[in-house]
Amino acid sequence: MKKYNVGIIGYSWAAGAHIEAINQTSLAQVTAICSSRNLNSKEISAKHGGTIKCYTDLAEMLADPELHIISICSYPAEHAEQAIMAAKAGKHLIIEKPVALSWEDCLAVQSAVESAGVRTCVCFECRFSSQLETTKAIIDKGLLGKIHYGEVDYYHGVGPWYGQFRWNIKKEAAGSSLLSAGCHALDALLFLMGNDVESVHSLATYSANEDFAKYEYPTTSVSVLKFDGGRIGKVSSVIDCLQPYYFHIHLIGSEGSLLDNKFYSTQMGGLNKNKWSELSMKMLDSGDVSDHPYQKQFETFFQAIDENKEMPLTSLTDALHTHEVLFAADQSAEQNG
């Protein structure tokens, strides 16, 4: 047996990815699942390995002292309440994004976590991807100098062909284009440019395509952000496009630029300024959660718990910076609507 036992809330698409990733880490395994559906423990255990106890009552699962960590993979609207319950039960928390559907609920989660003194990891797992790790290294090596303009955008058509489309189209379930998916782009922008956002201005709109007409909220939005010192950022969140998945990053700095997997830098000898150099890395080119770097994120989280220190990069504190800007953006879009 590995050191930590994890209980999952919700038995969704994301949950499947969490279970597989958690079981592949060196420190933890999934031993409990709580779902509104009546799951068969035997079947579930056989499917995922180990022994997994299945619950329909969350309080019951949280009462198990052998469970050290709770991973929340339920519908977004349930995240906050469940996170607060689990924190109060003294469990460390993995929370699928978003943390909550309102800023008030986010603050409530934060408060519960602080009171309970538990560790947290919010699934902005893209920060652990090859693409963002390399991009961050390029910046940290000084190859781009000081960045004064940055764009990170999310283009991914989430139509009827997607499993979560069923509930993702509801406003009370998914919230907004940014909340339901584009938050990864906004989070990446803050990761790369800093959290010191001074203002945000957003616009949002709809596609004329019939498939996307089922959405109860605008499926495309664009936000421009002003950072401390006058630096500028921009995030588009487009879940109603018909094209290849595209996680677009363009950073303009005083010593060079980075565009997706390409860069130019004055700091690398005699590079050709008129033709991009190319970095070989695994791009964020899929919306499929099974392609996402969950395992690396969870391994890091379990190590942090083990060493009794704060989760790097994606703690609740990190994630709330992103959520605060996100809710401000959605509010701006509504006002400008």
> Using CB under 8 A, which residues numbered 126 to 155 contact its own copies?
129-131, 133-138, 141, 145-146, 148-149, 151, 155
Residues 126 and 208 sit within 8 Å (Cβ to Cβ): no
- Give the shortest CB-16-to-its own copies separation in angstroms: 22
- Give the shortest CB-199-to-its own copies separation in angstroms: 8
Q: List all residues 6 or more positions away from 111 whose beta carbon is below 8 Å from its beta carbon.
A: none
How far, in Å, are 12, 160, 172, 271, 299 from residue 236 at the CA level?
Answer: 27, 22, 22, 31, 31
Closest CA to 236 of 155, 126, 334: 155
Closest CA to 73 of 104, 42, 98, 105: 98
Q: List all residues 6 or more positions away from 335 whose beta carbon is below 8 Å from its beta carbon.
A: none
For residue 154, list its beta bridge partners.
237, 247
132 Cα distance to chain centroid? 13
- Give the shortest CB-311-to-its own copies separation in angstroms: 19
Binding flag, residue 270, its own copies (CB under 8 A)? yes
- Give the shortest CB-132-to-its own copies separation in angstroms: 8
Binding flag, residue 259, its own copies (CB under 8 A)? yes
Site for its own copies in 70-129 (CB under 8 A): 129
Give the side-chain half-sphere CA count within 13 A for 96.
Answer: 27
Binding flag, residue 252, its own copies (CB under 8 A)? yes
- Give the shortest CB-91-to-its own copies separation in angstroms: 30
CA distance 110 to 320: 8
CA distance 184 to 118: 24
CA distance 224 to 186: 11
For residue 35, list its beta bridge partners.
none
Binding flag, residue 160, its own copies (CB under 8 A)? no
Binding flag, residue 312, its own copies (CB under 8 A)? no
For residue 54, list its beta bridge partners.
33
- Give the shortest CB-203-to-its own copies separation in angstroms: 5
The count of chain residues that interact with its own copies, using the rule CB under 8 A, is 71
- Give the shortest CB-137-to-its own copies separation in angstroms: 3
Binding flag, residue 277, its own copies (CB under 8 A)? yes
CB of 39 or CB of 279, closer to its own copies: 279
Site for its own copies in 229-248 (CB under 8 A): 230-232, 234, 236, 238, 240-246
CB of 90 or CB of 244, closer to its own copies: 244
The radius of gyration computed from the CA coordinates of the chain, to the nearest angstrom, equals 20
CB of 167 or CB of 276, closer to its own copies: 276
Binding flag, residue 36, its own copies (CB under 8 A)? no
Binding flag, residue 45, its own copies (CB under 8 A)? no
Among 24, 36, 56, 209, binds its own copies (CB under 8 A): 209
